[in-house]
Amino acid sequence: MPKIALAKVAKKIRKKRGGLDNLGDREVKRYNRASLRDDKLKKQLKVRNEKRESDMIRTGFFKVATKDAEKGLELEEIRDLIDKWVDRNKPELERFESSDDRDGREFPSTKN
């Protein structure tokens, strides 16, 4: 059976039954499957966009950093750029780690 978007399924059911109020068992199953499929596709799109956004931010950082280079970068320069990228949030992370919000309480251990 071809996969049909939720709006199309709802439209076909309304056209056949005259509304979504009094649905039979088969139509309810079709509508539920289409709804679940639509939710799954929205979640996948969200994850894909978040990954693409982080990739674009990373690529943009290195593109701006190497914009003035006329020839290839030395290995040491590349390492420095990578270190800058990795440590870009270090002051903010240190501020959170040293905050007094958790007086007398340890951070949760990841070791079990």
29-64 pLDDT, tens digit per residue, is 888 898 999 999 999 999 999 999 999 999 999 999
Each as own residue / partner, the long-range contacts of residues 63-70 (CB below 8 Å, 24 or more positions apart, any chain) are none
- Domain for residue 112, yes or no? no
- Domain for residue 106, yes or no? no
CA–CA distance, 74 with 95 (Å, rounded to integer): 33
- Domain for residue 16, yes or no? yes
**Domains contained in the chain, number:** 1
- Domain for residue 11, yes or no? yes
pLDDT band at residue 12 using 50, 70 and 90 as cut-offs: confident
- Domain for residue 111, yes or no? no
Residue 36: domain span:
6-99
Q: What are phi and psi of 107, to 5 degrees?
A: -70, 150
- Domain for residue 107, yes or no? no
CA–CA distance, 38 with 9 (Å, rounded to integer): 11
